[in-house]
Amino acid sequence: MKSRIVLLGPPASGKGTQADRIASAFGVPHVSTGALLRSECARGTSLGREADEWTRKGLLVPDELAVRIVTTWMQSNGPRFLFDGFPRTVGQAENLDASLVAMKAPLDLVVLLEVPEDEIRRRILDRLSCMKCGATYAAALHGHAVGDPCPRCGSPLVRRNDDTEETLAQRLDVYRRMTLPVVAYYRENSPGILHRIDASGESDAIFAELSRLMNS
Ligand code: ADP
């Protein structure tokens, strides 16, 4: 079974949802750098305040900050993880590889979830999130409104301050320019571990495909 996994994909490609499902089915810790940053921000730490300057504009936080939050996580939890939203730049990917080489624990699976941009737009503009447990919901599909209790943990649902039309354009642009090159990086540097999944369809079918890769 795979135990060091990176999930890549544009915003709202289902990384968080699938990472949660894989984490509970396979017992690998789900680490979302976006959720870690939002939690720092909610607690009002200096790292959180710095991160918020970038995330609210749809920009990536500086590599140094993203790497710091992941390194801190690995120091207390060890090299078993499913990263969702990290690495997002080639610099972060190089940094992660260097840390894993030092631990003699290389990545064993990278999966790119592919979703067309019109579908991403539809999903993001309809998305409500729980800041406490990280769950996300399609408002139209599930009849949820801002302020309703999260069905999973009871905290009020919110619209993330970066889930807006203006910020989305910026996030998609950043994804194309900064994160797509990470796919090429793994294709060239870690032959055989990169897989692509069409993530525009049914959640169950995507989960089945991911599970197959986890067991392969
Ligand atoms: P989404 O995948 O829907 O964009 P995330 O929760 O993964 O949402 O990320 C939200 C924001 O947090 C990003 O737009 C970015 O500002 C910041 N962020 C998360 N992970 C990273 C990272 N690895 N490097 C830089 N910024 C990050």
Q: Are 30 and 84 in contact (CB under 8 A)?
A: yes
| Ligand 1 atom showing the smallest separation from residue 88 Cα | 23
Quick check: CB of 30 below 6 Å from ligand 1?
A: no
Distance CA 188, CA 213 (A): 20
CA of 90 to the centre of ligand 1 (A): 15
CATH of domain 4-115+179-215: 3.40.50.300
pLDDT at 142: 86
| Ligand 1 atom showing the smallest separation from residue 10 Cα | 2
Q: Which token pair is 27?
A: 């017992």
Catalytic residue among 15, 21, 38, 123: 15
- DSSP string computed for 41-105: HHTT-HHHHHHHHHHTTTPPPPHHHHHHHHHHHHHHH-S-EEEES---SHHHHHHHHHHHHHTT-
pLDDT at 141: 85
Q: Are 200 and 115 in contact (CB under 8 A)?
A: yes
pTM, full prediction: 0.90
- Return the best residue to mutate from 20, 40, 74, 88 for the ligand 1 pocket (most ligand atoms within 8 A of CB): 88
pLDDT at 197: 97
Distance CA 125, CA 117 (A): 12
Distance CA 167, CA 75 (A): 33
- Domain ranges in the chain are 4-115+179-215
pLDDT at 129: 94
Q: Are 114 and 120 in contact (CB under 8 A)?
A: no
Q: Would residue 15 show up in a list of annotated catalytic residues for this protein?
A: yes
pLDDT at 134: 87
* Strand 30-32 to 109-114 pairing: unpaired
Judge if the upstream peptide bond of residue 116 is cis by omega within 30 degrees of 0: no
pLDDT at 50: 96
Q: Per-block average pLDDT, block size 10, for the chain (216 residues)?
A: 96 94 97 94 95 93 96 95 98 97 95 96 94 90 94 96 92 96 97 95 96 96
pLDDT at 60: 95
Quick check: CB of 55 below 6 Å from ligand 1?
A: yes
pLDDT at 114: 97
pLDDT at 212: 98
pLDDT at 191: 85
